[in-house]
A and B are shown apart, each in its own frame.
Chain A
Amino acid sequence: MMDRLSRTALAGLALALVACLFLPLWRVALLAPQYPEGLGFYIWANRMSGDLRSINGLNHYIGMKQIVPESIPELRLMPWALGGLVLAGLGAAAWGRRKALVAWVSLLALGALAGLADFWRWGYDYGHDLDPTAAIKIPGMTYQPPLLGSKQLLNFHATSLPAAGGWIAFGVLALGIALIIRERRLARRPRPA
């Protein structure tokens, strides 16, 4: 069994994930000579915000598909997945078994990985599936945005980084792993009689 501190901490981590429902998870920022003030968009659990209209307008030159948040099913799924993780975390804390902690953290890690993989897949699709009649066609050029970090895409310098919600999710994952390590150490130590 986990000790009281670990169980409380696990419950706290699960609750911290609630913030991810109300904060942007990811931000993609675009800078170009004509856009010194920058363009960009945020990905939230259930929506996207920012300069999508302008970005879609520009993307039509290279034949990229319109980014239409309403047509992205993940934005409908993600709030449920996050909610499930919160409840599972609270359940694990209540149950108190170390196995439950490990299972929850693994689930969280898998969820994060799946999310990143999905984001990459969308990026790949937008960047490669281009309209053959587009005005600007550069042989060999594709426009997949970076998953994490920066990349030059024609005149735009694109930067992709976690936003507040994303940082919280990664923080929760890191602290969850720290909790597992703590529990392992406690398990190796003989219990006081």
Chain B
Amino acid sequence: MGKGKFAKEFAKGLILSNPVFVLALGLCPTLAISTSIDNALGMTLAVLIVLLGSNIIIAAIRKYVPNITRIPIFIVIIATLVTVVNLIFHAYLPDTYEALGIFLPLIVVNCIILGRAEAFASKHSVIHSIADALGITIGFMLALLMISFIRQVLGTGSLSVFGIDLFTLPILGEHPIAIFILPYGAFLVIGLLMGLFRRTGVMKGE
């Protein structure tokens, strides 16, 4: 169990099996909350806590879980962690809690979390599961940041993160393309990004 394996499990989630662009998992939250960088970071934090927690717990108990009841057990573990995150966000990050709305509790049914539990954590050691969770979360974050950056800049004509204004574009600042903030813009941006990644050969097509 050298360092190389840890790094490999970590790196795999970034590009080769990027949860959003390659595996097309967790699309609902990705598209719904990618209207601003703030929301993207809030969602990433929530997913990080839940995925790290569920991967560690499930990897730790993997030898004691009977095969036939493993899915309900995983779901209860994940749902408990999501409840914890929900309460923490409600108490300490009320703005993010409001902005994420029902997509915070919906992390329970996010295919990324259960998918990693079933495909990885239930078969590998705790250390590797931590690497897997971190890699997948960062891959998720990269995708979220990319989409929300494009949507926020084109849809509002400016960029502000946590209340700090970073820049305002000259013409777009006055006449933003509002469709990018609306739900339809999300489909447009992710479709074009996926096509671009396949065109440039970063990711494989069908």
A and B together in one complex? no
B residues sitting closer than 8 Å to A (CB atoms) are: none
